[in-house]
Amino acid sequence: MTDSPADELVPYQLGMPADCAREIVIPRAIAADNDPQWVPQQPNVWFRPLCLSASQGFWVTLLKVRRAGVLTRHRHPKAVHGWVVKGCWHYLEHDWVAEPGSYVYEPPGETHTLVVDNDDEMITLFKVDGAMIYVDPFGKTTGYDDVFTKIDRCREHFIGCGLGADYVNQFIR
């Protein structure tokens, strides 16, 4: 049903449901290098939290890498969606290359080894559901991340750079 012309510019007149979480809006999400919202992950690797869903068990982050080579080998029990902003990367297990503007869907069950192709800056937005399970080439688990380890890492970093333990809360839903 379409609005009548008189109603077109009228905002929704009822309240949001009582249990509806607050929206998140992050202007200029690809911030300057010295922005403390880039959380160090490994040497020359950072992530920036956008949405950390403790209630649904997923996280949306920007990943920034400034070094060529293998980043991680990992298994996904649930789906991942990626959008490449800058740079190029690929998986050792596949013959395609993710380039700027590429959308990537990683289905549940995938295990793959992420390689950044050169030292040019790479930035990709990832939505990861469930967990990243880090594995050796034969699938033996070596570690994991989930939304809670991501929150812990952010909190640790934000405390360390003086923004405080509560700074991460704005990204948590």
Provide the binding-site residues for Fe ion, judged by CB under 5 A.
Answer: 106
Residue closer to Fe ion (CB basis): 106 or 145: 106
Q: Calculate the dihedral angle through the C-alpha atoms of 118, 121, 127, 130, rounding to the nearest 10 degrees.
A: 60
Shortest Å distance, C-beta 7 to Fe ion: 45
With CA atoms as reference, report the closest residue to 74 among 41, 113, 130: 113
Instruction: Output the furthest CA–CA distance in the chain (Å, rounded).
Output: 64
Residue closer to Fe ion (CB basis): 76 or 155: 76
Shortest Å distance, C-beta 80 to Fe ion: 5
Residue closer to Fe ion (CB basis): 106 or 146: 106
Place of tokens 């934000």: 158
Shortest Å distance, C-beta 107 to Fe ion: 10
For 32, which DSSP code? Answer: -
